[in-house]
Structure 1
Amino acid sequence: MRRYNLRHEADDRWLVVDGMTMQPAALDGIPICGMQWAEACDMVDLMNTLDSIERASDRYATSSRRSA
């Protein structure tokens, strides 16, 4: 399941939305908004990839603690 999605803004720009909070997503505290379509699509892919890596890392850490 993809955590991040796009939302069309009124000024024909796009923002990345966090599907868990339904709020604009941020990267290092900077909102991911005001982008053209292609840039916004790239950012959604990036954020979903980072989220996938983080979840896999958490699963690995949890399984390592259980087997220790």
Structure 2
Amino acid sequence: MCRYNLRMEDGLWTVVDATTQRPAELNNVQMARMTWREACDMVDILNNLDRISSLSECYEASAKAMA
């Protein structure tokens, strides 16, 4: 399941964080009022960053368990 999805608002697109149901933020900037292409790109980027973060946490826990 992906953490970030799209929602149309007033003809423009918002990237929504599924954990909060609020607009996603990147560096304190809301990912809202974007074109469809921009929003799709941001969903891909944010979901990839989320996956990387999750995997790094798993590897960190595994390394600590083996130490």
Distance apart, 1:41 and its partner CA: 0.4
Q: How does 1:1-68 map to 2 (within 5 A)?
A: 1-10=1-10, 12-68=11-67
- TM-score, normalisation: structure 1: 0.95
Gaps of 5+ in 2: none
Q: Distance in 1 between matches of 2:29 and 2:62?
A: 33
List 4+ stretches of structure 1 deviating above 2 A: none
- How many residue pairs are counted as aligned between the two chains? 67
| 2:57 aligned counterpart, secondary structure | helix
Distance apart, 1:48 and its partner CA: 0.2
Distance apart, 1:42 and its partner CA: 0.5
- TM-score, normalisation: structure 2: 0.96
Matched to 2:5, the amino acid is N
Gaps of 5+ in 1: none
RMSD (CA atoms) = 0.6
